[in-house]
Amino acid sequence: MKSHLFCMLLGFACPHHSLSQSDHGSFTDYQEVQAFITDASKAGLGSPQQLQALFSQAEFQPAVLQAMSAPAEQSDWRSYQKIFLNDERLQRGLAFWNAHQAALQRAEHLYQVPASIIVAILGVETLYGRKTGHYRALDSLSTLAFDYPPRSRFFRLELLAFLQLCQQQHLEPDKITGSYAGALGYPQFMPSSWLNMAVDFDQDGHIDLLNDADDAIGSIAHYFQQSGWKSGPVAIKATLQGNDYDKELNSTLAATAPLSHWATLGLTPATPGSLPASTLANVLRLHGDHGNEYWFAFGNFYAITQYNHSVLYAMAVWQLSQALENAAIHKSGL
């Protein structure tokens, strides 16, 4: 899903969009690939011959370009919510929480990120490690690096990070699979995020996000800590009064004004007095089953959007985390 972190363009027509895998030809015929191989070799990521051999195996994936043009985050909240807030994701999440309780408690203590948020991220991203993606990362990253001009620079850097990651972690680059965007493992980290944010949480001398749930748990918590997560509110429902509420609604991924300001526009917390009037927030308008919903989103909500730049994604994570917490409390009889 992220892994983590795109603002997609609508209506983009790629020059190779109509090509099939069979008539695309070899990536090694591209001037850009040859330049990339030169740079990667200078960076110590293999000899030119080794890299030529590797990229001769890379396969163009038209399905990757199709997926990039229509990510789930382009739907409305009414449709998006149903994908991630359902009984299967809840029950599997409770089972995962129970199986990895010790690691989750340690991550929560060390990084001050609630266990429910960590579990919800894994639930939204990969159904707790069950759906980590079937595309070879070499294929998806090469397709996006050299056949998707709007984000080609970003994906060239991710492709380079992928080679660095494989060298560092002793992985075979032609064997690793992930999402259509090249996100990897339980938490769907992009290669650069793995290099920069992942931690060896079980302290076995190896960071394994592909198979080790504990490393994934610690790495997600560390990612959130580095993204600005603080103890405090995430999101609460807003009550609407008056007709001036929509003149300042925007898509800025930040808490922009105190609750006292939003009150002058007719937007107040559904639970009065639950937070100081000075608390910074933004207001979200999401279209649900019963019309528009209004939410106050605080700094922690926007920390979630550092994982995926989508308010729908962040809301799905937040609501799944709350459903998991409530179910866990009910199950324990507290």
- In angstroms, the CA 63 to CA 175 distance is 19
Task: Report the interhelical angle of 31-42 vs 152-169 (nearest 10°).
Answer: 40
Predicted model pTM: 0.90
CATH level 3 topology of 1-234+298-334? Helicase, Ruva Protein; domain 3 (1.10.8)
Residue 244 is predicted with a pLDDT of 73
Residue 21 is predicted with a pLDDT of 65
Cβ-based neighbours of 70, under 8 Å, separated by 6 or more: none
Exactly one of 59, 73, 88, 125 is catalytic; name it: 125
- In angstroms, the CA 100 to CA 134 distance is 25
Residue 20 is predicted with a pLDDT of 65
Residue 242 is predicted with a pLDDT of 77
DSSP readout, 139-179? HHHHHHHHH-GGGHHHHHHHHHHHHHHHHHHT--TTT-EE-
b/e burial code for range 261-271 (CB count within 10 A of at least 16 → b): ebeebbbbbee
Q: Where are the domains of the chain?
A: 1-234+298-334
Residue 13 is predicted with a pLDDT of 36
Our answer to whether residue 125 is catalytic in this structure is yes
Residue 22 is predicted with a pLDDT of 58
Start-to-end CA span in the chain (Å)? 34
Under-50 pLDDT residues of the chain: 1-17, 334
Contact 140, 150 (CB under 8 A): no
